[in-house]
């Protein structure tokens, strides 16, 4: 009976680890700033953060399209290629909507 309790506790502990996966946190974005109206319509962004390479990115901003996501050898880096249309309006705020924490959780 003691073995069954120990086994049951181990299974519950393992299940709780898989039930609540941790959201990767972005610790660095390169380049940190970019502009609309650049000569080239494609922008490469490198994200850095623990296990960020395993995350799926998405974005929703008029005139900006996520063209490609590239996983690198290290799980702590990911490249995003954005295509920016010429008529895209600049983002007027220095910080993402709802603050930096929301940016870190934003669909990653």
* pLDDT exceeds cutoff 70 at 10: no
Residue 88: its pLDDT value, please? Answer: 87
Taking all residues of the chain, what is their mean pLDDT, rounded to a whole number?
Answer: 75
| CB burial string 54-85: b at 16+ within 10 A, e below | ebeeeeeeeebeeeeeeeeeeeebbebebebe
**pLDDT above 90 (res 92):** no
Residues 40-72 pLDDT 10s: 889 999 999 999 999 998 888 899 999 999 999
Most confident of 1-5, 31-35, 51-55, 101-105: 51-55
Q: Mean pLDDT throughout 23-45?
A: 86
Distance CA 62, CA 52 (A): 24
């Amino acid at each position: 009976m003691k073995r069954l309790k120990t086994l049951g506790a181990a299974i519950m502990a393992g299940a709780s680890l898989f039930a609540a996966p941790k959201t990767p946190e972005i610790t660095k974005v390169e380049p940190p700033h970019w502009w609309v109206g650049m000569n080239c319509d494609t922008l490469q962004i490198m994200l850095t953060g623990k296990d960020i390479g395993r995350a799926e990115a998405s974005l929703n901003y008029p005139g900006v399209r996520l063209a490609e996501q590239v996983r690198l050898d290290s799980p702590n880096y990911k490249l995003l290629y954005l295509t920016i249309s010429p008529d895209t309006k600049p983002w007027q705020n220095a910080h993402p909507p709802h603050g930096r924490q929301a940016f870190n959780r934003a669909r990653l």
